[in-house]
Amino acid sequence: MDEELNILISIYLDGLIINYDNPISLNTTIYSNGDENELDHDKRLLCIALIAKLSSTYRDLNSPKITLCRPRGLIDE
């Protein structure tokens, strides 16, 4: 699992928060591209937070539990 976490860290840089408690959880916020407020994340029109929880049996028995939360500018249709 360490190799996978290192790959995610290299992709998301400072945008990925890893909590090493049990279960391990990953948290990142995904922003839209080309937004007029590109430099100010608090003013971006579209974004969503992604949280993935990895149980101790991840890879062998269980998939990560994925939660999408705090959507901004998204409509459920």
Q: Residue 45: which CATH number?
A: 3.10.110.10
Q: What is the mean pLDDT of residues 44-55?
A: 85
Regarding predicted confidence, which is higher, 6 or 76?
6
The predicted-structure confidence for 8-40, as pLDDT tens digits, reads as follows: 899 988 889 999 988 899 999 887 776 666 666
CA atoms within 13 A on the CB side of 67: 8
| Helix intervals (H) in the chain | 2-12
**pLDDT > 90 fraction of the chain, expressed in percent and rounded:** 27
- 65 bridge partner residues: 53
Q: Which stretch of 13-27, 34-48, 56-70 has the lowest confidence by average pLDDT?
A: 34-48
C-alpha of 49 from chain center: 6
22: containing domain? 2-72
Cα–Cα distance, 49 to 14 (Å, whole number): 15
Asked whether residue 77 is assigned to any structural domain, the reply reads no
What integer pLDDT is reported at residue 72 of this predicted model?
Answer: 77
Domains: count for the chain: 1
